[in-house]
Every structure is written in C-alpha cells, then in structure tokens.
Structure 1
C-alpha cells in the first residue's frame, strides 16, 4: 500500500470533530450515529488513500456494533480490518482482540481462544517491556471482565424485579461502605463466570512466553471477593454507564439536576434493571450493588469514574 500524502488542513480539521464523536458512540452504543459518522470519514479519507486512518475509524464503528449487540456485523467488520491490516500492527491487534471478545460474548470459547492466542502473538512483537506489560494488563483485564459478563447472562430466568432490586440497594447503602458493597457483588458472581474466567486465564498464561508471565496481574479466584467485585463492577459499567450516564437520557437529565425524584421514583434502579435485562442478567444482588454504587457516588463522580475504557492504549499515554 503506497504511502498517502499528508492530510490537508481541511481533512485534519474535519477529523478533529468527527473522530472524537465516533469514539463516543462506543460508550453509548449508538450504532446508527456511528455508521453515519464513519460514512463521512470514508468520504473524507478514501479519495486520498488514507486507508490506515480509515480502518481505525472502522474499528470504532465495529466496536460500537459489538456494544449495541450487533455481533454478526461486528465480527464481519473486525475480520475485514484484520485482512486489510498487517499482523503486528496496532490496528490488527485491536481488531483481533475485539473479535475474540465478540466470540466470548457468544460463548464460543473455542474460537475466542484461537483469537486470544493470535493477539498474544501480536503483543509479542512489541519490543518495549513496559509497553508489552501495558497491553497484556489491559487485554487480560478486559477478557476477564467479559468472562464475568458472559457468565452472568442467563436465558429463561425470571426477570429482575425493580422493587426488589431497589430495596436491596437501599439496604446496601444504609449498611455497607464501598468496599463492602463490592465484596457483596463479588459473592454474587456465579460459578459460570468463575469457570470462564479460569479457562480464559489458563489460555492466556499458557501461551505467553515465560518472561512475560510476570506482566500479568494476579488471577481472579472465587476466594478474592473484593477483587472479583471490582472486576465485576468494571464489567458491568459498560451496561450501567449507558443506562444512566447518556446525556440524552431522562434519567441523566434529572439526576444531574439533583432532583430527588430520581431516587423517589426508582429511576436509577429502573434504568439499570432495564439495561441488565437486555443483557439477560437476572442476579438481584449484582443489580442492587450496581444501583447502590451509583447512588453512593452521585452522578458526576459515577459517570466520570465508571466511564467504559477503551481496549487499546492511547498513543498519548506514556509507557
């Protein structure tokens, strides 16, 4: 692929607006808007041959699709990016890792394992020890979060009851501090999540070069309730954040204005229950813990602290 010319001032100015908007679509899972923005970026970049920059935008588009539960569209997209990008590049690593997550969400552990191994091999191409450590930490933690999320999903179970979730959340708020709430969340993580966690961790560790094993964070186990609760909370923020922190939602508008009706009318519990139900999550204590943490933090702190993080390390981050 020939090297494209430098971006024009017009292209640079347009991308400075369009790319941040597209990245925000991942958080809100706004697939329709992501498609629209990506189409604009394609019209801007394709005529001048800036395919690599365009592929990065497409990774954001397909990640948005994954978060919007359009898994087939996301899988086909990531496969396309992998074919068009060179192995060992940041783009290829990102697409490979996110495709592994797509298969993990489908509980296709065999295919997920193949892609995890491929991603590990790509990370191995990074020369800097510190950079490899960062990538391994971020990828294994994201895979562990997804494992917990998948294990929480149950088909055919009775749906969450808003009143029951709200009452349990009130009990937690009145009797527990933040760490104790996280411990309760850790206790509520089901065996399915623990089993998938172990399988993913074993796959990851067994395929690492021995010198890189030290780069991994300590494993999550059934015994480490606080750490398990923290990781479960981190996993669930991808669901809860969209439910109550989307600036366009009625819940966010009311909550950010400090209206007591948010609590009186069970708005937060209702929003989290609705979003968890869309992911087939039916564990009352998990939902109640998420509600309790949201109320304890307050809107500004919760929405800033629990904003979903990206998989890849930003280029501006220091090693």
Structure 2
C-alpha cells in the first residue's frame, strides 16, 4: 500500500480523499503534504491553546466591562492563519531534519522528501514562504506579543532533535505547541499574568498526553532505529501516566479559570473535557495503532469544548 500511494502522489499516513487531492493541482501536492494540509489535526491542536487564551482574556475583559468582540474575532482569524502557516513551516523543518529517519519508517517513507518528490532546497524555500506568512500575522500584534512569540522559535528549533537525546520529545512538542496559551492573552493585554502561565503549563501536559498516544503507532519502528519517545518510555504504564498528565492539565486549567473569574459555561466545558480525557484513558489499547490515531484526533473535540465554554461564558453569561 505504501508504494501504491507513493507512486500515485499520495502519502501512506494521511487520508487519500482529502481536499488536497480534489482541489489542488498535482504539482502542489508534495508541498501540501510537507505542510500537512492533508492532516489538519496538527494545526488544530496548535490553534486551541491560542483560542483558549484569547477566550480566557475575553472572559476577564467581559468581567471588567471592556470586552471588544471585533478584536476577539480578528485575533481568532489571525491565530487560525498563523497556526496553519507555522505548523506547516514546523512540519517542513521537521521533515528536513528527519529525512533519513522517515525513509526507514513504514508510515513515513512515502512522504515528499524520502520519496524524492521534493528536494531539500525546495523544502527550504517552502519553509521561508510559510514563515513569512507567520511573520505577517505576528506583526499585527503588540510589541510584547511579537517578542514573546519569537522566543518560541528556540523550542521549535530544538524539538525535531529531541527524539535523539531524550525520552521526552513530547515535552518539547508541548512547550512549542502550547505557546499560544501565552500569546492569546498577551495579544489583548500586552503583558502576562499567572492565569495564562498556568493555562500554558496545563496545555503542555495535555500535549504530552495526546502525543504519547499518537507515538504508540510508531513504537516498533522507533525501537528498531533508536528513536526515543514517551510511548516507549511509559510502555505498559501509559494509562497511569495519562491519568497524571491529563490530571495536571485539568487542575492547572481550573486554577487559571478561577484566577480569571470565568463563568459557569466555562466550567461546564472543562467538566465535559475531563470526561473526554477519561474516556481516552479508559478505552486506550496501546497496541492498536489505528485506535491510537483516532484517540489522538479526538483531542480536537477536547480543545473545542474548552474553547466554546470560555467563549459562551464571556459573551452570554
């Protein structure tokens, strides 16, 4: 199946009926695959901490009688564009770093670089284009937010190498993917406070949890080629670790909510999210790769219910 999709211009680890293959010209397919446009769950999970933070700031503004709906909507649009662009740039960079590794893993060897459909030079140019899009978005915010966002690039640069020197590459992913929990707040207030910092740490724990589930798909190949991950580290103890990680997420997010003075709808969303996290742990079979992928994607809805709760709390309560 790998070879069939490779020859057809598709990749093995993404849906073959994605809009990329229906709407985009064939010459753009490899770039869409580098940016993972055919796998939107990545930018969605990157986006949710931004949206949570923006909605948390909206709750605080609403309590102070200073809520600005136009600003809130504009920030969501910018965070959406930035998430797609920067996730794409990060994935392209990751594929450059993992070029040789991806060629040895069944799930990834049909990707554009190991299959030879894109050169390293072309991939670098594509990174530059996506990064310029992200920069254009970033320049729409205040100077504090610009500086804060630029700091995240340090973690982004380290992440692709983390699997080579630590059993905790998911921690580095969490540090990078959750940065929006700081940026969404600072975009409104031009500073940080304890609430978004707690939200950020909670989002980091959430990311480690769901990406551990994801990493169980590759644990056999990872073991053969020496790639490290929390899936391999936790192994049969993954469920207890997930209880701890998701528990940290809920406790710290609840603490952020309490500091921000959110309303009942936000708390209701968090309770639903807690039930959804518990469901993942209860049904998880770490030896079922297809189920691990489904549960990983299920976290889109976890992020959604938290965001909707915060938003309704700000605008309705």
TM-score clears 0.5: no
TM-score where L is the length of structure 2: 0.32
- Give the structure with higher Rg (CA): 1
TM-score where L is the length of structure 1: 0.32
Higher relative contact order (CA 8 A, sep 6+): 2
- Answer 1 or 2: which has greater helix percent: 2
